[in-house]
Structure formats: structure tokens, C-alpha cells
Amino acid sequence: MKKRILGFWEIWNMSFGFLGIQMGFALQNANASRILQIFGADVHELSWFWLIAPIMGLIVQPIIGHYSDNTWTRFGRRKPFFLLGAVLASIGMVLIPQADFMIAILPALWVGAGMLMIMDASFNIAMEPFRALVADNLSDEQTTKGFSIQTALIGIGAVIGSWLPWMLTNWFNFEKTSPEGTVPENLLWSFIIGAMVLIGSILVTIFTTNEYSPEELQQFENTKHIQDEAVKIEGEQPKAKLADIFEDFVKMPETMRQLSWVQFFSWFALFGMWVFAVPAIAQHIYGLPADDSSSEQYQEAGNWVGILFGIYNGISAIVAFLLPIIAKRISRKKTHAYALFAGGLGLILIYFTSNEYGLILPMVLIGIAWASILSMPYAMLAGSISPKKMGVYMGIFNFFIVIPQIINGIIGGPLVKYVYGNQAIFAIVISGVSLIVAGLLSFKINDTKDKITTVN
């Protein structure tokens, strides 16, 4: 028994919820540092607040993956989890820019950090089952195409989210400045609109996508005769337990171990870019002091970072459709390596840029890397693990995304303060070097499924 070959629009609808998830992520990535600085955070403290995101991923994704692997309801296997995550994330999105309304109870900075925690935990609840759903529903021949379409939707959602504050100001005359300690009107409404889009896009996937039952997935597995360690574990332990996560971690497939180092350096780089992009560009391009978080020029810098983030995400949406073609010709691991090299070069080029428009080329290069980061590792991983363990291993794989972010979050702020002299641009340069290291490590991946990668 084999999985049905899905058409383009079936795969598109299956991943459509990711448009809303990534719109929320884009709003967070481009604006969370700005919001926290508005509420009183210093530039060297930003990475500590951003620790919330990877810690939530470290805790939430493996647990959600485990339970979504072993839960079946009349609504499906994965769908109940990402619906719950979407609802909770929407609440956090609506409240984070309005954290000052609770100032009588707690400082606005701490309320904002709390809403950031709710958002990140909820995004993780929604995101992990989406990754597993694509792997559940697609055959090996379509996994690269499936994750590439997912990447395209991620790019589209991120472009909208990144550009939304600018669009609300320039097209609809929303205020881009506000009294000190409060979030401007354009940011506030951007998060509210993002929350509505998140819920709507998730519902599109829920109403248009069917899931294979556990019995059908077992038949696929029996037909495929996967001979890997993950399947052997399942044969020995018919009744899954939460504690199995630790044993699964120890016995992860070889390909997953090799990918883990690539992911480590990739996401160390991305975290540095997301946290320090606004202060780095405000200081390095606009010439503002490190303690400026309320001037009109600072808000202009923040809005421009949103535009730049939209550019790299837009490029990723385009490149995502080319990745399966390139991977078929030169292999998935080489495709990923060259894309990471491009992103690393882009980040380093920011240091040598003197005006805001010169930042467009680096963002194009970063977009190439981002497209590959969101698809190639998951396509390589999906072919190496058992369908019955897809959710938990996708969750465990997230360890290698969040651990480097936690490390960067701990050391990034002190490095900016004590080593870089409060010049955040050097955190961006280090991120570029980290992406290049990830590219070199990609050549060591043993991707046994490259030969069957096709474009359907």
C-alpha cells in the first residue's frame, strides 16, 4: 500500500495554516525587540528576553510531537493540536503590544515578556504538528516538493507580516510614533490583524485536509519495510510513553545526528539576526546611539527592518519552488550547503553597507538561505525516520533549533555589551560566520534519499 500522490493545490491547502503562523512569527521577529525596548529593555538585555522563544520550543515541541503521534480523535491526529496553538498564539499576539494596560499590576516590560512567552509556546504547539502532517501525508517522492510549498507559504506570510506596520502607516495613515513607553498604533493593529489571519489560515487547512488513520500509516510502514533503529524501538515498546522521548533521542537515526550540527550553526545565526537586526541597523546605518528606542528615526529604522525582513522572506518564497529542481540535479545536501553560504555572505555584507538601500542585496542572499533552512533539512529528515515516530522525531529535531538559540541568548547580550562595545552590528557578522560553518557541515550529511527526489 502506498500513499496517494497529491496535487499541487492539495499540498498548498495542507500547508496553508503555515501562512498565518509565519505571519505571526514575522511580526514577532521584526518587532519584538522594538516593543521590548519601548517598554524599557536595554539593547544588551534583548537576547535574554528572547530566550523565552527557544526554551518554549525545547519544552513544547517534543511533548506535542509525542502526543500527536499517539492521539487520534474524530477531528484527526494533528489538526486538534495546531488549532489549539493558533487560538492561544492569537491571544498573545493581541496582548503583547498592549502590555502597558497592565502597568498597575506589573511593569509593562514583564507583561510584554509574558505575552511573548505565550506566543512562542503556542506557535510551537501549532508548528510541530504541521511539519509532521506534511511528512504523514506525502510519499518520499513528494516530501521535498511538500516542504518547498510549505516554505513558499511561510515566505508569503512572512512578507505580509514584516511589511504590515509599514503598509498601515503609508497606505492607511496609522500613526508610527507614540508617547514614550507605549507602542505605536501601526504596530498594535498589525498584531491584531496577524492574529485574525492566523486563525483563518489554520481553519483553511482543517476544513480542506484529511489525515491518514493510524492503521493506514501502519500499513504504509509495513509496505515500505523500513529497517532503521526507530522502527525497532517501536517493535519493542508497543505502548508509547512520554518517557520514550529520551530513548528516541539517544537512538536517533544517523542522518538526524548529522543534520543536528548543521541546524545548530544555522539557528545560532538566525537568532542573532532576529534579536539584533533593529539595533544593529539603527546604529550602523542610521547612526543612532545604543540607548535610543523612542525617536522617530528609531521607528523609521524599525519599520525599514520590517521591509528588509519581508524582502528576504519574499525571496525565500520564490526560491522554494526552485529548490526541488536544484536538489534533483546536485543533491539536497549540496543545495543546502550553497544556500547557507549565500546567507552567510549576506549577513557579513551588512557590515560593509553604508545606506539602507544597500541592505537589499544582503537580504536577497539571506532569503536564499532561509528558503533552504525551512525545507531541505526536513525533507532529508523525513526520509530517515518511521511514520509512527514522525511527530516525536520532528519535535526532537527542534532541540537542535532551540539549543543554539538558548546559547546565543545567554552569551549574545554580554558579548554586545562587553566585547562589541554595544555595537550590535558585530553580532550580525558572527551570525554570518556561523551560517558558513553550517554550510561546510552540510557536505557531511548522509542523505540516502537524494536519488529518489523528483518533481511531481
185 vs 168, 392, 434, CA distance in Å?
9, 41, 36
Helix (H, G, I), strand (E, B) or coil at 76: strand
| pLDDT interval class at 13 (50, 70, 90) | very high
Cα 318–148–160 angle (5° rounding)? 50
Asked whether residue 217 carries a pLDDT value surpassing 60, the answer given is yes
- Mean pLDDT is highest, among 34-43, 313-322, 381-390, for 313-322
Q: Give the HSE-up count for residue 282: Cα atoms under 13 Å, Cβ half-sphere.
A: 28
For residue 71, give the H/E element and its range. none
Asked whether residue 238 carries a pLDDT value surpassing 60, the answer given is no
Asked whether residue 451 carries a pLDDT value surpassing 60, the answer given is no
Helix (H, G, I), strand (E, B) or coil at 133: helix
Cell of 238: 508497543
355: amino acid identity, one letter = N
* Separation CA 347–CA 363 (nearest Å): 8
* Separation CA 375–CA 142 (nearest Å): 12
CB 157 within 8 A of CB 14: no
CB 185 within 8 A of CB 173: no
pTM of the model: 0.71
Asked whether residue 234 carries a pLDDT value surpassing 50, the answer given is no
Which domains, ranges and CATH numbers included, belong to the chain? 8-452 (1.20.1250.20)
| pLDDT interval class at 454 (50, 70, 90) | very low
pLDDT in tens, 126-138: 877 777 787 788 8
CB-based contacts of 335, cutoff 8 Å, min separation 6 = 323, 326, 327, 372, 376
| pLDDT interval class at 176 (50, 70, 90) | confident
More confident residue, 242 or 376: 376
* Separation CA 411–CA 239 (nearest Å): 41
- Mean pLDDT is highest, among 307-311, 379-383, 399-403, for 307-311
CB-based contacts of 113, cutoff 8 Å, min separation 6 = 36, 49, 52
Asked whether residue 236 carries a pLDDT value surpassing 60, the answer given is no
Mean pLDDT to the nearest integer, 248-267: 86
* Separation CA 36–CA 320 (nearest Å): 32
pLDDT in tens, 49-86: 777 767 777 777 677 777 777 777 777 888 888 888 88
* Separation CA 277–CA 30 (nearest Å): 8
> Where do we find the cell 533539512?
377
Helix and strand numbers, DSSP H then E, in the chain: 19, 0
How many other CB atoms are found less than 10 A from the CB of residue 1? 10
Name the nearest CA neighbour of 340 among 373, 369, 316, 370: 369
> Where do we find the cell 524599525?
302
pLDDT in tens, 359-395: 999 999 999 999 999 889 988 887 677 666 666 677 6
Note the pLDDT of residue 358: 94
What values do phi and psi take at 162, rounded to 5?
-70, -40
Asked whether residue 120 carries a pLDDT value surpassing 50, the answer given is yes
Name the nearest CA neighbour of 311 among 375, 271, 368: 368
Helix (H, G, I), strand (E, B) or coil at 354: coil
